[in-house]
Amino acid sequence: MKTALVARELACYKVDTAALSETRFSEQGQLEEVGAGYTFF
């Protein structure tokens, strides 16, 4: 369910959702790619 919500939110910003399995919510409420140190704003 959470993945679907994230995918819908990212779609609003035209962000590729292919790497959703490796993304998580940070404590600040932003999305981070695990292990790479990238943050999507």
- Cα-atom radius of gyration of the chain, to the nearest Å? 10
Predicted pLDDT at 8: 73
Kindly report the pTM of this predicted structure: 0.28
Q: What is the largest CA-CA distance in the chain?
A: 25
Contact indicator for 22, 35 with CB cutoff of 8 Å = yes
H or E segment and range at residue 3: helix 2-12
Domain span at residue 11?
Answer: 2-40
Predicted pLDDT at 5: 72
- Total domains in the fold of the chain: 1
How do residues 1-39 score in pLDDT, each as one tens digit? 566 777 777 677 666 555 445 555 555 555 555 555 555
